[in-house]
Amino acid sequence: RRPLNRIGILAAGNAPFPADAFGNVAGATQVTLMRRLDAPVASRWLSIALRRALLSRVDTPAGLNGADFAAERAWLLIRMGEADAARAMVQSVDIQNYTPKLFQIGMQAMLATADPGGMCPMVVPALRTAPDRNWRFAEAMCAGLEGDPSKAGPLIDSARRRMSNSI
């Protein structure tokens, strides 16, 4: 079990930012800055520094859920073209602590790294926490990857019916 008060990872050989790198900047301000940043960043050096800041094990700001903070950081990494780093950020949180936002970004990170099978451990808790029709398709896909066509077929048919009814 990993705590949510300090989340992050950093590849070997890269010096991390300190845990209190963002000081007392409000969580809402940090989230707003990450969402408004036009990515990818034009400067190579700025991109490297931003990637290191996003991946460092930093304190979760007051007023933010650690899983949501990880999701925001992962989403910016995806937009920067750092899909592998985003996936690592998503996976730095234990699945039982995922929020609907982290499930959503987790799916994007797995698809961006061309590893749809990476969604399989998330399917059951995602359907309980964030019942989205995309997770129904992931459920069927994972059943197919498990090699159980009797389970995958009905799930795919059910997901198709739900999609056609919602259109």
> Does residue 98 surpass a pLDDT of 70?
yes
- Averaged pLDDT, 27-46: 90
Task: Please state, rounded to an integer, the average pLDDT across all residues of the chain.
Answer: 87
Tell me the average pLDDT across 3-30.
81
Residue 59 is inside which H or E element, if any? strand 58-59
Q: The pTM is what? A: 0.84
> Cα dihedral sign for 132, 134, 137, 141?
negative
d(CA 152, CA 101): 26
Residue 97 CA: distances (Å) to CA of 37, 71, 101, 125: 27, 12, 11, 10
Q: How confident is the model at residue 160 (pLDDT cuts 50, 70, 90)?
A: low
* 156 neighbors 140 (Cβ within 8 angstroms): yes
Q: Region 29-49: what's the mean pLDDT?
A: 91
Q: pLDDT, tens digit, for every residue of 123-156?
A: 999 999 877 889 988 988 888 888 766 666 666 6
Place 22 in a pLDDT band, splitting at 50, 70 and 90: confident
The answer for residues whose C-beta is within 8 angstroms of residue 87's C-beta and 6 or more apart is 74, 109, 110, 112, 113, 115, 118
* Residues of the chain above pLDDT 70, percent: 86
Q: Looking at residue 110, what is its pLDDT?
A: 96
Tell me the mean pLDDT in the region 71-81. 96
